[in-house]
Structures are given as structure tokens and as C-alpha cells.
């Protein structure tokens, strides 16, 4: 004889198995959706545009000078956080995170038993991973491009260090714009968050120009990845404190938004 307690355990086990299978299918479909996402191509093209702009800046007025890969990457990193990454991450998030809300397909997720909060957290995680993957791919691409330009050689570990710096800055920018991503969840009809993100990144140029980069979220990771273009002065561990404050603010913002989403779950 199976006791009532064992019956409840069995029912719970079956429920969890069904939920796991539903979630597995849901994330498989999400993966297929991302592969067909046109915004990914726009994201990648914007990174290539940044590389080409950096080449122009590097050799403009100094056609006969030779530079190494680290010199080139210093400009790529600067242009990435100030011109491209903040806005592009938010544009991609507008599409990836809010697509179900835009199309009205969010209600169909009820059959998958995937809570809205968990859905958005997974999308933020995927967005972060895609951002890092693109940064690593862009680092490799910049190296291949630079091989065809007039340059002077440098130790391989210097080049690898520059690639890691670019990837680290991409992570830093994602963390910096994370509060924007969270606070603007499900606000699909507005591009105000894109404008805010672009201005947020562009202002970083002037902040860093005053050697206040440690206090500004977008530029705080410059110290953490040991970025050095010869003109910046860092202030102890201030950058780590700035990043910690942003993460704590993001957590508080998410707790607030999670409650808001819970009240309108699949509304």
C-alpha cells in the first residue's frame, strides 16, 4: 500500500518532471528564436563599424607611424564603451526580453509553466552570455584585421591581454546598463532606454577625461581590466566599490520589478 504522503511525493515528482520537460522545450525554442534574430546581425555589424572607426582614428594623421595591437585595442575599447555597446545592448534587450510582450505571445507561456520572473532572468543571463561571446569574437576579428595593417610586433601575451580587456569591458558595460535593462522591462513601445544608454556611455568619455572614471559605472571596469592608454589615473579600489553599488542597485531594482511583474503575471 502506498501511503498518502508517498502519493503526494509521487505527484510532486511527476509535476516537476513535466515542468522540467516543458522548460527544456521552451529554452530550445528560445535558442532557435535567437539564431534567427536579425538584431544579432546589427549588433555584430556595429562592432565591425567600431573596429573600422578605430583603424581610422589610429592612422589618421600618422600614416607613417607603426603601432602594435595593444595600441589598436586601446582605441577599440574606448570607442566600444562610449559609442556602441551601451546602446546596442539595450536595443538587443528591447527585442530579446520584450518580444513576447510585444507580440502578445507571453500568455502562451502559461502552458510551459515558466514563471515570468524566471523567464526574464534567463533572458538577462542569455543577453550577458551573447554580449561576452560577441566581445570574444570581436577581439579575434580585430586581431585578424590588424595583421593586414602596417604594424609593429609585440609579445603574444600582450595581445591576449588586450583581448581579455575588451571582453572584460563588455562585461563591465553590461553590468553598468543592467539597472536600465531591469527598470525598462516590458516597456516595449519606448526607446527612451536606448537614448539613456547612449548618453550614459558617451558621457563616460568626459568623465574619464577628468580622471573620474573610477566613480562612473560605464568606465569603472577600465581599472578592473587594467586598461592603460597613458592618460588615466586610477584611485585605489574605488572602481570595485562603484561596480558593487551598481550590482546592489540592480538587485533592489529587480526585487521591485519582480513584485510588479508578479502582480501582472501573464497579464
Q: Could you tell me if 106 and 89 lie in one domain? A: yes
Q: Could you tell me if 7 and 80 lie in one domain? A: no
Q: Could you tell me if 69 and 191 lie in one domain? A: yes
Main-chain dihedrals φ then ψ at residue 24, nearest 5 degrees: -60, -45
Q: Could you tell me if 54 and 129 lie in one domain? A: yes
Closest CA to 198 of 52, 41, 81: 81
Q: Could you tell me if 24 and 63 lie in one domain? A: no
- Tell me which residues of the chain have a pLDDT lower than 50: 1-2, 6, 9-10, 13, 266-267
Residue % of the chain over a pLDDT of 70:
74
Q: Could you tell me if 2 and 91 lie in one domain? A: no
Q: Could you tell me if 4 and 116 lie in one domain? A: no
Q: Could you tell me if 23 and 105 lie in one domain? A: no
Closest CA to 81 of 171, 13, 142, 19: 171
pLDDT for 62? 67
- pLDDT tens for residues 178-236? 999 998 887 655 688 889 999 999 999 899 878 889 999 999 999 999 888 777 888 88
pLDDT for 48? 87
Q: Could you tell me if 68 and 199 lie in one domain? A: yes
Grid cell locating 139? 577581439
Q: Total structural domains in the chain?
A: 2
Range of the domain at 26: 1-36
How far is it, in rounded angstroms, from Cα 37 to Cα 30? 10
pLDDT for 105? 52
Q: Could you tell me if 22 and 45 lie in one domain? A: no
pLDDT for 123? 83
Q: Could you tell me if 118 and 5 lie in one domain? A: no
pLDDT for 1? 46
Q: What is the pTM of this model?
A: 0.83
Question: Average pLDDT, whole number, for the chain?
Answer: 80
Q: Could you tell me if 75 and 17 lie in one domain? A: no
How far is it, in rounded angstroms, from Cα 128 to Cα 227? 21
Those residues whose C-beta lies under 8 Å from the C-beta of residue 170, and which sit 6 or more positions away, are 80, 85, 131, 132, 134, 135
Amino acid at each position: 500500500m502506498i501511503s498518502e504522503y508517498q502519493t503526494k511525493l509521487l505527484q510532486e515528482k511527476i509535476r516537476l518532471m513535466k515542468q522540467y520537460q516543458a522548460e527544456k522545450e521552451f529554452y530550445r525554442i528560445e535558442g532557435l528564436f535567437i539564431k534567427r534574430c536579425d538584431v544579432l546581425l546589427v549588433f555584430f555589424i556595429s562592432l565591425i563599424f567600431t573596429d573600422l572607426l578605430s583603424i581610422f582614428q589610429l592612422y589618421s594623421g600618422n600614416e607613417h607611424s607603426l603601432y602594435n595591437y595593444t595600441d589598436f585595442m586601446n582605441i577599440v575599447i574606448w570607442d566600444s564603451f562610449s559609442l556602441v555597446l551601451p546602446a546596442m545592448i539595450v536595443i538587443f534587450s528591447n527585442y530579446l526580453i520584450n518580444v513576447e510582450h510585444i507580440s502578445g505571445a507571453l500568455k502562451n507561456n502559461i502552458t510551459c509553466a515558466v514563471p515570468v520572473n524566471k523567464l526574464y532572468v534567463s533572458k538577462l543571463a542569455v543577453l550577458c552570455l551573447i554580449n561576452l561571446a560577441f566581445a570574444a569574437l570581436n577581439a579575434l576579428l580585430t586581431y585578424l584585421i590588424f595583421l593586414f595593417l602596417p604594424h609593429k610586433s609585440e609579445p603574444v601575451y600582450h595581445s591576449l591581454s588586450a583581448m581579455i580587456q575588451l571582453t572584460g569591458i563588455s562585461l563591465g558595460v553590461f553590468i553598468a546598463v543592467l539597472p536600465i535593462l531591469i527598470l525598462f522591462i516590458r516597456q516595449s513601445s519606448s526607446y527612451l532606454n536606448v537614448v539613456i544608454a547612449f548618453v550614459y556611455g558617451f558621457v563616460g568619455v568626459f568623465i574619464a577625461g577628468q580622471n573620474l572614471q573610477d566613480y562612473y559605472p560605464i568606465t569603472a571596469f577600465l581599472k578592473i581590466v587594467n586598461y592603460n592608454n597613458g592618460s588615466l589615473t586610477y584611485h585605489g579600489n574605488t572602481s570595485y566599490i562603484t561596480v558593487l553599488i551598481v550590482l546592489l542597485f540592480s538587485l533592489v531594482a529587480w526585487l521591485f520589478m519582480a513584485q510588479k511583474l508578479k502582480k501582472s503575471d501573464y497579464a
